[in-house]
Amino acid sequence: MSSSPLRLLLDFDAQYRRDRDQTPAFLHRRDRRLALVREQAGATPPSLAEWLHAVGNGRHDTTSLRRWRRLNGGLLLAGGVLGVLTMLGLLYVTGPARINVTLFLALVLMQLLLALATTGQALVGWRPWGGLLGRGGPEQGAPALRQLQPQLAARAAQTGGLAFAVTALLTLLAQILVRDLAFGWSTTLQTSAPAYHRLVETLAWPWRGWLPGAVPGLELVAQSRYFRLESGAPADPALLGGWWPFLVMTWLTYVVMPRLALLLLAQAHLRRRARRLLRDHPGVAALRERFATPWVDSGDEAPAATPLTTPAAAPAPPPPADTGTLIRWAGAGDGDLVRHLVGEVPILDAGGAATLEQDRDTLNRADGGRPVVILVRAWEPPTGDLADFLDDARAHWGPATPILLQPLATDDQALAPWQRFLARRQDPALQLCPPLAPDREAATP
Amino acid sequence: MTAPPRFAVVGHPNKGKSSIVATLAQNDGIAIALEPGTTRDSHRYPLSVDGHVLYELIDTPGFQRPRRVLAWLQAHSASASDRPETVRAFVTQHRDDPRFHDECELLTPILEGAGILYVVDGAVPYSPEQEAEMEILRWTGRPSLALINRIGDGDHLADWRAALGQYFQIVRDFDAVNAPFDTHLSLLRGFGQLAPDWEGPLEEAANHLRDQRHHRQHRALALIAEALADMLTHAESARFGEHDNRDALEHDLARRWRDRQRQREQSLRRDVEALYRHRHLHRREQALDWEPGQDLFSDQARRAWGVSRTYLATAGFGAGALGGAGIDALAAGHSLGTGALIGGVLGAAGSLYYGGKYADKLGALKLLAPLAGGGRRAEFGPVRDPQFGYVVLGRALEHWFQVSHRNHAGRAPLTLDHGDRHWLEQLPRADRQRLQKALQNPPRHPSDGKRRQALEQAVENAGGAFLQWRSGNEDSE
């Protein structure tokens, strides 16, 4: 389980982006269940790390961070190599005889300013080098890392800087050990030895109380001043080597220690920023809401019914002129409408409020030798009752008697169930007439 | 532990049983007009809270042969006391008979203890032909409630009420397609009145559904705020080479930018519909046509959902003043409100400048830093016109309102027309200024917590105002 805020942020963000493809219902159910399991065990809802472990099976997206690690490693190596080269350069290039302490102090000052500038840049979130890390940068694929670029870059830079400082210090110590280094100080400025001594003493303030041997005395300062055009050997070559404890302590105090402190600060800043980004992450509030909100399932995930296919409509003949009987099914149509339809023929009733006895009586009274028209309300779909009546009619009148279903309908849409009903019955003598507007029918939907 | 209450929704074919189940179970996949006569099985729709079932609705096939069933029952019953037993015997006898499959399916849950919800269509006149069905249900002896659904325009409620009152304990009207959400809850509480043990679970269920609705509203508005932030900050970029045609590149990037905005708007639509469980919704939206004058970027959309220059100037002044007031606060009041005044004037000027022509001010090509390997980075967007935010927000709120107020029994396509833009009048002045400020300063990335919260809050307030405005419109219609 990850405890690093950065790791947590990256894992959470990756899971958040994966979850965007899931349905809200699934996410709510999954997370609420996790919270309930904890609740039943008497615990609070899971922490983000526990939640990530539960839903992601401990999966970490390390690709994006690996690139930053690589950058860190590169800067560490580069810093280390540069530290050695710079110190060697300083010790060899500044002069064969005396190494200028002023130049050394300038390098210290520059290192300190660079370290502080790096930190300041990270604190205000300025990214002057952003273009280098823009598209295709190390955080590609992990948008959350983009917000941490200043802090990540500061950490990498401070790491490189620390490597530089440490290897430079080691180089200095090694050179002190294997060579007899002579230090002196020189400057174009009109500075007296006492003034330079005061500067040196001020710089040595952190250690002068407990390491007086690393604070050059006025005599050493006065004697080690040299001028470039001055010829001749110094007063006491052995004395000039006495600068080294001061230089080592200066480097340690003003380069190594600040770099280390600022690296720790960069690390802490990175963690704090990652924690803050995680706190403000849009997914966190939504997740907490899912933990706390009961999962209400109203059966809405049942599969949808498959729509039925309607067979192609068969040719629809009008009621024939030689209709023998008209039967009103379940009270469909009134007398005038029916007479207008088929003329003066016997009108009988069946279905609906009629009893089964009355249905049988209707079958007996109908003229089975001529076409029979059955008037139906199209918006009342065909039921088993009608199917039974048609079965009985066919048995009673024989298979050849034309039976025509005359639907009352205001539009063709209501006819689809009737067309399917006819298709299922497979009775060639049973046909559906074109719909008739139910002018006087009050009950039209 | 007692079994949760169950309710069998029964009735004559095609009277809206499934539409009632679809609305109460919030499932738009349930067929509303399945063809009667085809073999159908019962479907159960439990309502559970954290896995605990509070009640169950059972959608059943309609009666196919009620007269035959009643005749059988009457022939096999000796007295009123054996009626439930006779109904059970009928089901036992005919379980394998295909002719009575539907009757067995619908009677079985009732015999197992379910309450009866008998559905009729109040748009057609009362007809005694359904009395056989009601009589069979009365024979079961189970608690029952009649629901008068209205499928068409006719109104025969009074006749139905009088007739149903003779057979059922409670008679309620319920328009499955148009009934507002509060009526759903009231109906559920009505189910609880059928038996003393059922009142508690049904009340609990109604409370949970109400909370779920609040939760969904909050989530939907958060989704809208997220989409707004995406759309307001989106930019398209490309490499601009030395020999490239600037106009062609701008045209291409503008087209990509607009397509991307349309797609984002559509994905918001889908997210909101999924949140409200509308998975089979057919949407008729003008932006879908993407024709000149019809879509998100048309002047018609701007006229419908945008705001006037005066509004922009006043809200811009307020938003600027909000920022300026921050300067005053930092100066501990020593600036005597100068910060607010300057901020206000700048805000108003900016809003007026960008509030002119809609389509022309949406964005322009910008040439940015040189790229490694030659050329420069060209960018189109983010949007500069403050109207755009209002247009997207207005359209999104209208869609959300319609989806959230649409019952799952609805089958008509959702039509999103341009509406009246005066919804902003419902928003208090201070909220308008916050909205303007949030639209001018959208979060640039998801972790920009402060701006994101400001935008979410502004959209939440806007949602409340929109709801009030639409409810007022509906009341006055």
Question: Mutating which of B35, B65, B184, B208 best tests the A interface, going by the most A Cβ atoms within 10 A?
Answer: B35
Q: Which range has highest mean pLDDT (B127-131, B232-236, B469-473)? A: B232-236
Which B-chain residues 189-208 have CB contacts (< 8 A) with chain A? 208
Question: Does any CB of chain A come closer than 8 Å to the CB of residue B222?
Answer: yes
Yes or no, beta carbons of A280 and B44 under 8 Å apart: no
Binned at pLDDT 50, 70 and 90, residue B408 comes out as confident
Strand partners, A297: B48
Yes or no, beta carbons of B127 and A331 under 8 Å apart: yes
User: Mind telling me how many Å the CA of B310 is from chain A's nearest CA?
Assistant: 34
User: Mind telling me how many Å the CA of B145 is from chain A's nearest CA?
Assistant: 21
Which B-chain residues 103-132 have CB contacts (< 8 A) with chain A? 121, 123-125, 127-129, 131
Q: Cβ(B140)–Cβ(B115) under 8 Å?
A: no
Asked if residue A318 has a cis previous peptide bond (ω within 30° of 0), the answer is no
Give the least confident one: A100-109, A175-184, A400-409, B171-180: A175-184
Give the least confident one: A267-276, B237-246, B356-365: B356-365
Structure confidence at residue B100 (pLDDT): 93
Domain assignment of residue B207, yes or no:
no
With beta carbons under 8 A apart, name residues in chain A contacting B447.
144, 147, 277, 280-282
Q: Nearest residue of A to residue B151 by CA position? A: A445
What's the rounded Cα separation, in Å, for the pair B229 and B231? Answer: 6
Q: Nearest residue of B to residue A32 by CA position? A: B50
Does B118 lie in the same domain as B47?
Answer: yes
Q: What is the DSSP string of B207-268?
A: HHHHHHHHHHHHHHHHHHHHHHHHHHH--EEEEE-TTS-HHHHHHHHHHHHHHHHHHHHHHH
Helices and strands of chain A, counted as H and E runs: 18, 8
| Torsion angles phi and psi, residue B370, rounded to 5 | -60, 150
Question: Mutating which of A22, A26, A28, A300 best tests the B interface, going by the most B Cβ atoms within 10 A?
Answer: A300
Q: Which residues contact B54 (CB under 8 A, 6 or more apart)?
A: B4, B47, B48, B201, B202, B204, B205, B208
Closest CA to B52 of B112, B4, B8, B7: B4
Q: How far is CA A29 from CA A300, B50, B477, in A?
A: 13, 8, 40
State the DSSP code for A25: H
Q: Which of A144, A286, A381 sits opposite B13 (nearest CB)?
A: A381
Question: Does any CB of chain A come closer than 8 Å to the CB of residue B370?
Answer: no
Does B236 lie in the same domain as B182?
Answer: no
Yes or no, beta carbons of A286 and B222 under 8 Å apart: yes
Coil, strand or helix at A377 = strand
Question: Does any CB of chain A come closer than 8 Å to the CB of residue B14?
Answer: yes
- Of B148, B166, B194, the last residue of a domain is B194
pLDDT in tens, B22-46: 888 888 777 554 455 454 788 899 9
Structure confidence at residue B289 (pLDDT): 44
Yes or no, beta carbons of A353 and B50 under 8 Å apart: no
Domain assignment of residue B209, yes or no:
no
Name the amino acid, one letter, at B135: E
With beta carbons under 8 A apart, name residues in chain B contacting A293.
211-212, 215
Domain assignment of residue B109, yes or no:
yes
Q: Which residues contact A62 (CB under 8 A, 6 or more apart)?
A: none
Does B262 lie in the same domain as B127?
Answer: no
With beta carbons under 8 A apart, name residues in chain A contacting B238.
none
Does B219 lie in the same domain as B163?
Answer: no
Structure confidence at residue B214 (pLDDT): 93
Closest CA to A373 of A316, A424, A411, A288: A316
Structure confidence at residue A56 (pLDDT): 79
Question: Does any CB of chain A come closer than 8 Å to the CB of residue B57?
Answer: yes
Yes or no, beta carbons of B128 and A352 under 8 Å apart: yes
- pLDDT mean over B381-406: 87
With beta carbons under 8 A apart, name residues in chain B contacting A445.
121, 123-124, 151-154
| B321 CB neighbour count, 10 Å cutoff | 24
User: Mind telling me how many Å the CA of B106 is from chain A's nearest CA?
Assistant: 15
Yes or no, beta carbons of B152 and A445 under 8 Å apart: yes
Q: Which of B45, B51, B445 sits opposite A147 (nearest CB)?
A: B445
Coil, strand or helix at A341 = helix
Yes or no, beta carbons of A385 and B36 under 8 Å apart: no
Question: Does any CB of chain A come closer than 8 Å to the CB of residue B448?
Answer: yes
Q: Which of A299, A301, A352 sits opposite B129 (nearest CB)?
A: A352
Does B468 lie in the same domain as B331?
Answer: yes
Yes or no, beta carbons of A279 and B449 under 8 Å apart: yes
Yes or no, beta carbons of B219 and A383 under 8 Å apart: no
Give the least confident one: A221-225, B15-19, B258-262: A221-225
| pTM score | 0.80
**What is the Cβ-side half-sphere exposure of residue A343, based on CA atoms within 13 angstroms?**
7
Does B141 lie in the same domain as B72?
Answer: yes
More confident residue, A149 or B111: B111
The whole-angstrom distance between residue A360's C-alpha and the CA centroid of its chain comes to 71
Structure confidence at residue B470 (pLDDT): 82
Residue B333 has pLDDT above 60, yes or no: no
User: Mind telling me how many Å the CA of A385 is from chain B's nearest CA?
Assistant: 5
Q: How far is CA A395 from CA A226, A398, B34, in A?
A: 134, 6, 30
Look over chain A and give the mean of its residue pLDDT values, rounded to a whole number: 83
Q: What is the tally of structural domains in chain B? A: 2
More confident residue, A57 or A96: A57
Helix (H) or strand (E) holding A164: helix A149-178
Overall residue count recorded for chain A in this entry: 445
Structure confidence at residue A145 (pLDDT): 80
Structure confidence at residue A441 (pLDDT): 46
Which B-chain residues 285-314 have CB contacts (< 8 A) with chain A? none
Does B292 lie in the same domain as B181?
Answer: no
State the DSSP code for A133: G
Q: Nearest residue of A to residue B29 by CA position? A: A304
Structure confidence at residue B363 (pLDDT): 65
Domain assignment of residue B330, yes or no:
yes
Domain assignment of residue B1, yes or no:
no
Question: Does any CB of chain A come closer than 8 Å to the CB of residue B254?
Answer: no
Helix ranges restricted to H, B33-82: 66-76
Closest CA to B43 of B20, B18, B64: B18
pLDDT in tens, B366-385: 766 666 677 788 888 788 77
Strand partners, B57: B7, B45
Residue A11 has pLDDT above 50, yes or no: yes
With beta carbons under 8 A apart, name residues in chain A contacting B125.
442-443
Domain assignment of residue B199, yes or no:
no
Name the amino acid, one letter, at B18: S
Yes or no, beta carbons of B47 and A300 under 8 Å apart: no
What's the rounded Cα separation, in Å, for the pair A124 and A313? Answer: 76
Does B398 lie in the same domain as B429?
Answer: yes
Q: Which of A388, A424, A445 sits opposite B154 (nearest CB)?
A: A445
- pLDDT mean over B348-352: 53
Which structural domain range is residue B308 located in?
214-476
Instruction: Please report the number of interchain residue pairs, chain A to chain B, with beta-carbon separation below 8 angstroms.
Output: 172
With beta carbons under 8 A apart, name residues in chain B contacting A382.
36-37
What's the rounded Cα separation, in Å, for the pair A44 and A291? Answer: 10
Domain assignment of residue B202, yes or no:
no
Does B107 lie in the same domain as B241?
Answer: no
Structure confidence at residue A352 (pLDDT): 85
Yes or no, beta carbons of B37 and A286 under 8 Å apart: no
Yes or no, beta carbons of B30 and A25 under 8 Å apart: no
Binned at pLDDT 50, 70 and 90, residue B92 comes out as very high
Q: Which residues contact B334 (CB under 8 A, 6 or more apart)?
A: none
Give the least confident one: A73-77, B263-267, B378-382: B378-382
With beta carbons under 8 A apart, name residues in chain B contacting A298.
24-27, 45, 47, 209
Give the least confident one: A188-192, A381-385, B291-295, B455-459: B291-295
- Of B163, B194, B225, the last residue of a domain is B194
Yes or no, beta carbons of B25 and A300 under 8 Å apart: yes
Question: Does any CB of chain A come closer than 8 Å to the CB of residue B50?
Answer: yes
More confident residue, A226 or A369: A369
What's the rounded Cα separation, in Å, for the pair B102 and B41? Answer: 7
Yes or no, beta carbons of B27 and A301 under 8 Å apart: yes
Closest CA to A34 of A268, A266, A288: A288
Structure confidence at residue B329 (pLDDT): 46
Coil, strand or helix at B276 = coil
3-class SS letters over A71-91: HHHHHHHHHHHHHHHHHHHHH
Q: What is the DSSP string of B323-381?
A: HHHHHHHHTTTTTTTHHHHHHHHHHHHHHHHHTS-HHHHS--EEEEEEPTTSSEEEEE-
Q: What is the DSSP string of A167-218?
A: HHHHHHHHHHHHS---EEB--SS---HHHHHHHHHHHTHHHHTT-GGGS--H
Residue B169 has pLDDT above 70, yes or no: yes
| Torsion angles phi and psi, residue A321, rounded to 5 | -70, -25
Give the least confident one: A213-217, A269-273, B97-101, B434-438: A213-217
pLDDT in tens, A358-394: 999 999 998 888 889 899 888 888 889 999 999 999 9
Please report where in the chains the tokens 């001594």 appear, as a residue: A197
With beta carbons under 8 A apart, name residues in chain B contacting A301.
27
With beta carbons under 8 A apart, name residues in chain B contacting A442.
125, 154
Does B181 lie in the same domain as B228?
Answer: no
Residue A335: Cβ-neighbour burial (10 angstroms; 0-12, 13-18, 19+): exposed
Report the DSSP pairing between strands A403-408 and A430-432: parallel
Please report where in the chains the tokens 């649409």 appear, as a residue: B406
What's the rounded Cα separation, in Å, for the pair A195 and A218? Answer: 10
Structure confidence at residue B291 (pLDDT): 44
Does B463 lie in the same domain as B370?
Answer: yes
Q: Which of A281, A282, A420 sits opposite B35 (nearest CB)?
A: A420
Binned at pLDDT 50, 70 and 90, residue B344 comes out as low
Q: What is the ipTM of this complex?
A: 0.77
Structure confidence at residue B360 (pLDDT): 56
Name the amino acid, one letter, at A304: A
Residue B211 has pLDDT above 50, yes or no: yes
- Of B145, B163, B194, the last residue of a domain is B194
Domain assignment of residue B205, yes or no:
no
Yes or no, beta carbons of B50 and A379 under 8 Å apart: no
Does B257 lie in the same domain as B190?
Answer: no
Task: Name the region of A186 (left: φ>0; alpha: ψ -120 to 50; beta: rest).
Answer: beta
Q: Which of A146, A299, A305 sits opposite B46 (nearest CB)?
A: A299
| A83 CB neighbour count, 10 Å cutoff | 25
Of all residues in chain A, the percent with pLDDT exceeding 70 is 83
Task: Kindly report the CATH number assigned to the domain that includes residue B34.
Answer: 3.40.50.300
User: Mind telling me how many Å the CA of A405 is from chain B's nearest CA?
Assistant: 17
Structure confidence at residue A287 (pLDDT): 92
With beta carbons under 8 A apart, name residues in chain B contacting A416.
35
Give the least confident one: A135-139, A169-173, A285-289, B72-76: A135-139
Q: How far is CA A375 from CA A64, A183, A305, B269, in A?
A: 75, 122, 31, 47
Q: What is the DSSP string of A261-292?
A: HHHHHHHHHHHHHHHHHHHH-HHHHHHHHHHH
Closest CA to B378 of B257, B220, B228: B257
Structure confidence at residue B361 (pLDDT): 60
